[in-house]
Structure 1
């Protein structure tokens, strides 16, 4: 730490970050460009504004250094300013970034992606996940001639576009007629999904879901979805924004051996650079192209979708993953962290209240109250103690840049936080340890 953190959270303050947050709110709605990065997601007046990052560490504008988890909302899986990625980007920046015709980098990036994800036959790049998930939905509707989209109800986010956001508590501005075309199915329940498809027989264009999340798919589940989609004539779409690279280089589809019709990738693909991908079957993808006799589909057409430096970053990321065994390292680091956190929580008597969930490469934590129910108040307490100890962790999602020493320090800080957590549980009220209002969920109707 470049600024010494004191033992008592109440003495840990971030005056420069607080001032910077005021400037952010004065000029940017919500004070951030992603709601999950908003200062309402952090304890009051303890939302650090970042100056820079390197590897698994970031520094705030107050001069504090943190071990960072969930970097860039899971996008920076190799660590900040990764040398191989930065060098690839630098090479392309000097050659120009955007032209009136495709760059040779576009075909090189496409060939590299399809070699990494061999279950796909064609790919098109964009800048963010919403672009490609919405393109998948549009394509599915076009090829099936059906209006409805079936989304997995147990997965929190698919797109900023109306077809999904209309189903959330933040549905202001979205016509009911749009929202009514999106229906939901539960993860892991084939019978309920079949009932949905039967109820809307001939109306559902696609099933879209994350193939795995905080829980592994039940045996036979993904295979069953594949069969249901085939039998009911709808398109199966895997959202691999998170599972891509973190589960395997070829995503969850490469790990579980179930091939979707379409899949979407992002986050880890660019190690923080803006790039996403829609991939899938040639006969479907080509409907957005020029070599077919069907009605044309406006699949993806973005001015910045093929910026050369972002595609160069993606190629460097894929090469690094494959050549350096990054996925295996993410799992090993996550297993070490999960074991340490669980031991620390159990040792302080809060093992039933601070729980670590998910695949080792994609860990999240839950904060439970006296009745073992999810609690935003106890999450606030926990986050305050982590921040005071130099750990910035909205989740426990690891990057490959973490060292064993980083993990050990994190576990030590978690143990200290668990001691305070125990005091709050014994008191039956965490309020004295919050320092202000509790953190809030992203999706809520009122600000």
Structure 2
């Protein structure tokens, strides 16, 4: 199998050089080129359609990152956009709220097992931080036990500057799937822990994505009850993707609070903190949260229409079928070419990681270089997503790109 030629990214790279003069790093965080294969991936995107993106140089890709998860349907959804445009004619940013707020909140309460009351916001970091503040206000305790990525705010960022050590000390991390590590922290800090916040489907950075081990979420629930702490599920990624009611519905474990975002509105910026009324009601009595833009209605309209389509078209069932085939075929191809890599994740959120052995970084670089050159947009350090508009032909083309990339890796690095 021959290597594919490097893509023409001339305009994208020129815009990137300009961007670095205008903004620190040119763009923020995980979108910087060194988080991909520097020089091989586009930086600027022109447009999207169905399950594809097109960069400013005209290269067309099957996108299995889906904007890091918000795109659950496709990149151009006229039904959602038309509903949003109709709302624009009424206005969407007011001192007070619009009726659609109640409509959306009632829908979320109907769908999500733990939802008795709802607060709407804009981003995942907004609502994970809101949930922590609610839990602290409800319990009158400060310590947070976390597992997973929960955003960029001070309470949950580690290894980065600008955060006071005293703030970092109020959050302790435990290992996903390990109930013993969690209980050790609960015992050590008994009486000081406000909440446990966990991603129901594990996704540690650059490691295999992990479905909940049997009994794990039930065990976390039991420990939260035993030590009388608030249990928060971070469903930013899993909400409206693994089930309409989130991972808590699919796996049958109900938290006290939960946060949703990403796929909820197919790319429009909205998130929700939901939970038991008794706990949520501290927002009325003792905990302050407010924002100029949280009540904006365009995103609420988009979310309602997106949820309508998800239910009407049985979207999640469709995504699971495509994802199951994708995972099975990826497993088969890795075995066929005897490449030291691991296929992980759940059907809506697949991932290929390279096992840590001799030359694994070189193998990884070669693999993702060849997949992007073949028009498959996936990333070395983040799991992928399946979208509703990914066709069977898209899945076939993605698997073909993966097979050809694996064949090259196997030929260039024959020894494990």
Match of 1:386 in 2: 371
Match of 2:362 in 1: 377
Determine the C-alpha separation between the residues in 1 that align with 2:415 and 2:247: 44
Match of 2:353 in 1: 366
Determine the C-alpha separation between the residues in 2 that align with 1:370 and 1:287: 50
Confirm or deny that 1:32 pairs with 2:22: no
Q: Please list, as runs of the form range in 1=range in 2, the aligned pairs for 1:61-100 lying within 5 A after superposition.
A: 61-100=56-95
Q: TM-score, normalised by structure 2?
A: 0.93
Determine the C-alpha separation between the residues in 2 that align with 1:378 and 1:31: 28
Matched position secondary structure for 1:244: coil
Determine the C-alpha separation between the residues in 2 that align with 1:253 and 1:211: 8
The alignment covers a number of residue pairs equal to: 406
Matched position secondary structure for 1:29: coil
Q: 1:169 aligns with which of 143, 159, 167?
A: 159
How far the C-alpha of 1:330 sits from its partner, in A, is: 1.1
How far the C-alpha of 1:195 sits from its partner, in A, is: 2.0
How far the C-alpha of 1:339 sits from its partner, in A, is: 2.2
Match of 2:206 in 1: none
Contact 1:79 1:401 in 2 (8 A): yes
> Cα–Cα, structure 1 residues 357 and 97, in superposed 2: closer, same or farther, change >3 Å?
same
Determine the C-alpha separation between the residues in 1 that align with 2:403 and 2:36: 20
Q: 1:197 aligns with which of 186, 201, 206?
A: 186
Determine the C-alpha separation between the residues in 2 that align with 1:211 and 1:370: 29
How far the C-alpha of 1:248 sits from its partner, in A, is: 0.5
Contact 2:262 2:271 in 1 (8 A): yes
Q: 1:41 aligns with which of 27, 35, 55?
A: 35
Match of 2:199 in 1: 210
Contact 1:370 1:425 in 2 (8 A): no
Unaligned runs of at least 5 residues, structure 2: 203-208
Determine the C-alpha separation between the residues in 1 that align with 2:240 and 2:183: 30
How far the C-alpha of 1:215 sits from its partner, in A, is: 2.0
Match of 2:321 in 1: 332
Match of 1:304 in 2: 293
**1:77-101 CA distances to partner (integer Å, 9 max, x unpaired)?**
1110122221221221221111111
Match of 2:405 in 1: 417
Q: 1:50 aligns with which of 45, 52, 55?
A: 45
Contact 2:3 2:408 in 1 (8 A): no
Alpha-carbon RMSD: 1.8
**1:355-396 CA distances to partner (integer Å, 9 max, x unpaired)?**
22100111111023654x8x4433221111111111111243
Determine the C-alpha separation between the residues in 2 that align with 1:220 and 1:357: 19
How far the C-alpha of 1:186 sits from its partner, in A, is: 1.9
Q: 1:141 aligns with which of 132, 136, 141?
A: 136
Confirm or deny that 1:223 pairs with 2:218: yes
Q: 2:114 aligns with which of 101, 119, 123?
A: 119
**1:281-314 CA distances to partner (integer Å, 9 max, x unpaired)?**
111111112xxxx5x211x311111211101111
Determine the C-alpha separation between the residues in 2 that align with 1:277 and 1:110: 9
Unaligned runs of at least 5 residues, structure 1: 1-5, 429-447
Q: Which moved more, 1:419-428 or 1:93-102?
A: 419-428
Matched position secondary structure for 1:13: coil
Contact 1:147 1:203 in 2 (8 A): yes
Q: 2:386 aligns with which of 398, 416, 425?
A: 398
How far the C-alpha of 1:123 sits from its partner, in A, is: 0.6
